[in-house]
């Protein structure tokens, strides 16, 4: 995979991390739940038993995941363009995969606790 394609993927990951943080802030501030982030396709807000509790539960976790994805993508971009270390490549990948695992776990637990 070339630096051009890798760089584009890194930018997409960076933007997805920013988007996650934005949706978490909007949920906390205005009570708007981004269905593509906090809920699955077949779930709507009316199935949430405690909307405020659900937002509070997911807020910190989504912020943490967004930050992890941003950091992982930055490490990967800096490595791709300047350092060229295989170790840093794997560090970036592991951070992003850990963020995905944390998000998935948080989502599944939140679904059990707060959805009907």
Tokens representing residue 95 in the block: 């951070």
Helix (H) or strand (E) holding 85: none
Residues 6+ apart with CB under 8 A from 47: 115, 116
Between these two residues, 16 and 42, which has the higher pLDDT value?
16
> What is this structure's pTM?
0.89
pLDDT tens-digit readout, 59-103: 999 999 999 999 999 998 999 889 999 999 899 999 999 999 999
């Amino acid at each position: 995979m070339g630096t051009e394609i890798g760089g584009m993927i890194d930018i997409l990951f960076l933007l997805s991390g920013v988007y996650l943080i934005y949706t978490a802030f909007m949920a906390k501030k205005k009570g708007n739940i981004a269905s593509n982030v906090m809920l699955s396709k077949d779930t709507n807000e009316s199935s949430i038993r405690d909307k405020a509790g659900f937002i509070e539960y997911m807020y910190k976790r989504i912020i943490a995941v967004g930050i992890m994805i941003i950091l992982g993508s930055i490490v990967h971009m800096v490595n791709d363009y300047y350092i060229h270390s295989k170790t840093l490549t794997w560090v970036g990948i592991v951070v992003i995969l850990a963020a995905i695992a944390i998000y998935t776990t948080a989502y599944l637990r939140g679904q059990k606790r707060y959805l009907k």
